[in-house]
A and B are shown apart, each in its own frame.
Chain A
Amino acid sequence: MEIFSAFFERPKNIRFATQEPGEKIIFVLRKAFITNIPWIFLSILALILPFIYMQFSLNSSENILGFSRKLEVSLIVTWYLLTIVYIVERYITWYFNVYIITDKRVVDVDFSPLFSKRISETTYDRVEDTSFSMNNIFQTIFNYGDVYLQTAAEKREFEFHSVPNPSLVQDKISDFAAETSNS
């Protein structure tokens, strides 16, 4: 399922706004899907919690917290709305925060929930150094980590956070940077 994928290698059906004619996309990356597990778990908990409360509340003649039924219903409704808002906001933030690696440059699309977006890019002739890191046991087991690019561009450092296959991504970027500096 594409809507849950975080790693696309040479995708056929992906394009981006500033793509030049003939420019080929090598990788499109999002944060590894496993990084979403904490908020998904929290959301499931938030969805279940009112059910547990209602089980106790319906079985007792008096409301547990002493609220009127109307107030009780409105609090539960508000709780669910906030949970939906939280899920939607977290998901679209993950979905639209992408890193694009083409045969000509690297593009970082930063999407802040609801209000802003920022697109940074650098060409390979400006890339000075690349590295990657896998910082904990989860990153090692599930093969995701951070990729760093030092550049001579206005934005000094590009950081790809928690992307899948960081060694492959870093290797490809350094290959392109080496090719560009040799030619």
Chain B
Amino acid sequence: MNENIDILTTFTSLGFDGLIDKVVSLLMLIIVLLYIIFSMIVVRQVYLMSDVIMTGSNKYIKFFSWLQLAFSFIFAYFILQVFVIQ
């Protein structure tokens, strides 16, 4: 019972701007998560397609797909720092 009152107090003390901030942070987390999933799918797709058609330049495409995945994780870390942990 006391815990419920605590949560309610926390939310009401946030005010409108605070609530917007929390919602924005949550949305950013979801967006970054979707971006990581997209990057993983791209890596998978690039590898699948590289098995269908093997060209000398596939290694560059694979490299860029991994680079994008790495970027998505670094970006997620940045978003966590800026929007969630602060």
A residues in contact (CB < 8 Å) with B: 1-3, 11, 13-17, 28, 68, 70-71, 73-74, 77-78, 81, 84-85, 88, 92, 95-96, 98, 100, 109, 111, 114, 117, 119
Contact = CB atoms under 8 A, between A and B. Distances in A.
A129 B61 CA distance: 36
Given A70-B83, A74-B28, A92-B45, A16 B21 contact: no
Interface residues on B, range: 20 to 34
B55 A70 contact: no
A85 B54 CA distance: 24
12 contacts: A2-B55, A3-B57, A3-B60, A16-B54, A17-B53, A74-B28, A81-B31, A96-B52, A109-B53, A111-B49, A117-B52, A119-B52
Contacts, number: 75
B21 to A, nearest CB: 6
Nearest to A13: B56
B45 A3 contact: no
Contacts of B57: 1-3
A108 B46 CA distance: 18
B49 to A, nearest CB: 4
Interface in B5-34: 17, 20-21, 24, 27-28, 31-32
B42 interface: yes
A14 B55 contact: yes
B51 interface: yes
A117 B49 contact: yes
Contact of A16 (B42, B52, B83): B52
B77 interface: no
A22 B68 CA distance: 38
Nearest to B78: A77
A88 B75 CA distance: 17
B42 A14 contact: no
A85 B56 CA distance: 25
A81 B45 contact: no
CB-based closest 9 A-B pairs: A2-B57, A13-B56, A96-B49, A15-B54, A3-B57, A14-B55, A17-B52, A16-B53, A74-B28
A74 B52 contact: no
A92 B65 CA distance: 10
Given A68-B17, A71-B20, A114-B41, A98 B56 contact: no
Contact of A74 (B17, B27, B46, B54): B27
A96 B53 contact: yes
A1 B20 CA distance: 48
